[in-house]
């Protein structure tokens, strides 16, 4: 009898694996194949192309036959699964602003500044402008968004205020770019300049993080802010690089980045790992959409900032002393324009094609999940991220370039979501979990994975973009600096020197004024 039960159990398990395997194959979509290229390159760097793909196919078959079916035994998907990000699921207090309250509202014909985009950067610009121009100033700012406030990448992310990409990571991406382009002659000069880029980036990001915390506290913003750091798992083959990164942090004074033991990882996050992990000490968690809404609502109180949602900008025309900002609701004449458009930038400014690279990430959220998973802390495995937000548990991954025209589309991969369920089980143990929300967002990368902050025309049209998935590390401080430049204020530090952050670094590298190389190493 026991033999029959054992045979029946084996046949049942086999049927389940076949069912899941076939379902995964049938469910593959175009983005899955694009994402596969990304994963091949990141999982097996330095290997010959043929070897990389053979290793990836072997790994994928293991996932499809073993890991994913095992995890789906205790996981399910709601019917239907909502494509609304959890940050936007409870409604938007600025929806259809200002027409929800005033159906007869109209765009102004004139503005001192027009900001295109009402996400992290647009909200930051509005807030800093309001603080510096309140009290009857005639210098008005108009913020436009083609959707709703925080409806783009700012409302579709992990929900972390990051210190950014740690010093060694910035150093590597910038150095790889210099090496690939054969820039700056001697390797020692390239290494030193990449090091300078990394230090400047980190200093700006650290000030950004502190400014965010000060603003949340001083303004009393209700955005679920908690500063408990961000843990990033590292495999055995990544331990040497982790040690190098920590050593560079010590040498450069960018000491947010440290190494912690597996025991400390579990204590802080509930995640079980077998090797040391990286830890960003000063990172925080928050509700990203509430942060943007808080900034905009505070700005609107000043009388010098106005906001118009559902207003698509189709063109910015240089008319000499003014810019003509052409929108779906009319034209605004502006003295200054700030593009807070991130991944949408190439659609509005074609010169940024292949310089600002729209990149899709995705996340899923649901009820249940591992009890061990701690709230209010950033948690990253080697191929995904996790988080607990109230009764909801989130998992996400991917960083795949998409065509410019697909920026902002919600097109998550169900295959990646199911893979993440397996990763969640691997790190936190088995648990009952139901996926209720699944979405994607589009961030932007630059070829050197270093942001651009500055003028795009040498006049009065500015941009903040290319933040490489670390928008909360750049946007608030960058918005402050752009506002100060427009107002000719020099009483505060400017953390985005043009020699490092100017768009000309990408648009015209031959004539860009690069930083002085200090002491080649």
Whether pTM exceeds 0.85: yes
Predicted pLDDT at 4: 65
C-alpha 300/C-alpha 392 separation (Å) is 32
Give me the mean pLDDT over the 169-173 stretch: 97
Predicted pLDDT at 10: 73
Ranges of beta strands (E only) in 122-229 are 141-144, 160-161
Q: Is 59 exposed, middle or buried (0-12, 13-18, 19+ CB in 10 A)?
A: middle
Q: Identify any residues that bridge with 440 across adjacent strands, giving them in sequence order.
A: 362
Question: For residue 318, what are the contacts with CB-CB under 8 A and spacing of at least 6?
Answer: 457, 459, 461
Question: For residue 76, what are the contacts with CB-CB under 8 A and spacing of at least 6?
Answer: 433, 434, 435
1-15, 177-191, 315-329 — which is least confidently predicted?
1-15
Q: What is the CA radius of gyration of the chain?
A: 24
Predicted pLDDT at 185: 79
Question: What's the pLDDT band for 217 if we cut at 50, 70, 90?
Answer: very high
Alpha-carbon distance values, 84 to 9, 334, 371, 438 (Å): 39, 34, 25, 7
Predicted pLDDT at 521: 55
DSSP-assigned letter for residue 135: T
Ranges of beta strands (E only) in 215-347 are 230-232, 257-260, 277-280, 284-285, 305-308, 313-318, 323-327, 330-339
**% pLDDT > 90, the chain:** 92
Predicted confidence (pLDDT) per residue in 390-434, tens digit:
899 999 999 999 999 999 999 999 999 999 999 999 999 999 999
Predicted pLDDT at 181: 87
Predicted pLDDT at 87: 97
C-alpha 438/C-alpha 302 separation (Å) is 37
129-143, 187-201, 205-219, 223-237 — which is least confidently predicted?
129-143
Tokens coding 254: 């960018």
275 phi and psi angles, rounded to 5 deg: -135, 165
SS3 512: coil
Predicted pLDDT at 9: 66
Alpha-carbon distance values, 102 to 96, 106, 110 (Å): 10, 9, 20
Q: Is 135 exposed, middle or buried (0-12, 13-18, 19+ CB in 10 A)?
A: exposed
Question: What's the pLDDT band for 163 if we cut at 50, 70, 90?
Answer: very high
DSSP strand pairing (160-161 vs 284-285): antiparallel
Is the per-residue pLDDT at 113 higher than 70? yes
- What domains can be seen in the chain, in order of their start residue? 2-76 (no CATH), 106-202+288-356+448-521 (3.50.50.60), 203-287+358-445 (3.30.9.10)
From 194, 197, 193, select the one nearest 497 (Cα to Cα).
197
Is the per-residue pLDDT at 122 higher than 60? yes
From 151, 42, 63, 27, select the one nearest 400 (Cα to Cα).
42
> Max Cα separation, the chain?
90
Is the per-residue pLDDT at 7 higher than 80? no
* Chain mean pLDDT for the chain: 95
Question: What's the pLDDT band for 509 if we cut at 50, 70, 90?
Answer: very high
Tokens coding 183: 């820039």
389 touches 398 (CB < 8 A): no
Predicted pLDDT at 45: 86
Predicted pLDDT at 315: 98
Predicted confidence (pLDDT) per residue in 346-390, tens digit:
999 999 999 999 999 999 999 999 999 999 999 999 999 999 998
Predicted pLDDT at 1: 59
């Amino acid at each position: 009898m026991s033999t029959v039960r054992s045979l029946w159990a084996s046949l049942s398990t086999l049927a389940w694996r076949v069912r899941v395997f076939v379902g995964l194959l049938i469910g593959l979509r175009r983005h899955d194949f694009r994402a596969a290229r990304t994963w091949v390159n990141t999982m097996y760097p330095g290997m010959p192309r043929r070897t990389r793909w053979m290793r990836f196919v072997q790994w994928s078959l293991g996932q499809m036959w073993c890991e994913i079916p095992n995890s789906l035994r205790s996981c399910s998907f709601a019917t239907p699964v909502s494509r609304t990000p959890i940050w936007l699921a409870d409604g938007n207090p600025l929806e259809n602003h200002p027409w929800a309250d005033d159906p007869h509202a109209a765009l102004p014909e004139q503005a001192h500044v027009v900001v295109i985009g009402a996400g992290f950067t647009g909200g930051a610009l509005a807030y800093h402008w309001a603080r510096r121009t309140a009290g009857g100033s005639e210098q008005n700012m108009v913020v436009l968004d083609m959707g709703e406030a925080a409806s783009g990448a700012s409302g579709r992310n992990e929900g972390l205020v990051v210190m950014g990409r740690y010093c060694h990571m910035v150093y590597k991406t910038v150095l790889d770019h210099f090496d690939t382009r054969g820039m700056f002659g001697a390797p020692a000069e390239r290494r030193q300049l990449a090091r300078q880029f990394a230090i400047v980036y980190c200093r700006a990001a650290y000030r950004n993080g502190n400014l965010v915390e000060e603003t949340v506290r001083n303004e009393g913003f209700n955005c679920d802010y908690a500063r408990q750091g961000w843990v990033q798992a590292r495999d055995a083959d990544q331990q040497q690089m982790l040690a190098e990164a920590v050593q560079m942090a010590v040498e450069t004074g960018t000491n947010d980045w440290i190494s912690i033991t597996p025991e400390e990882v579990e204590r802080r996050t509930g995640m079980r790992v077998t090797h040391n992990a990286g830890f960003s000490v000063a990172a925080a968690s928050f509700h990203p959409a509430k942060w943007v809404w808080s900034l905009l609502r505070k700005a609107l109180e000043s009388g010098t900032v106005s906001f118009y949602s559902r207003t698509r900008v189709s063109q910015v025309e240089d008319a000499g002393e003014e810019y003509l900002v052409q929108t779906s609701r009319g034209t605004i004449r502006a003295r200054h324009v700030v593009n807070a458009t991130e991944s949408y930038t190439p659609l509005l400014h074609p010169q940024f094609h292949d310089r600002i690279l729209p990149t899709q990430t995705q996340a899923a959220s649901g009820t249940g999940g591992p009890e061990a998973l701690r709230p209010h802390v950033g948690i990253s495995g080697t191929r995904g991220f996790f988080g607990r937000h109230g009764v909801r548990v989130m998992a996400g991954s991917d960083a795949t370039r998409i065509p410019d025209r697909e920026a902002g589309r919600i097109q998550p991969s169900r295959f990646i979501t199911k893979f993440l369920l397996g990763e969640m089980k691997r790190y936190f143990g088995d648990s009952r979990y139901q996926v209720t929300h699944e979405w994607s967002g589009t961030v932007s990368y630059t070829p050197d994975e270093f942001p651009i902050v500055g003028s795009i025309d040498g006049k009065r049209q500015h941009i903040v973009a290319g933040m490489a998935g670390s928008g909360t590390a750049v946007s608030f401080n960058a918005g402050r600096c752009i506002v100060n430049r427009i107002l000719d204020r020099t009483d505060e530090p400017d953390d985005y020197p043009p020699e490092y952050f100017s768009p000309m670094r990408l648009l015209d590298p031959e004539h860009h004024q690069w930083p002085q190389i200090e002491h080649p190493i």
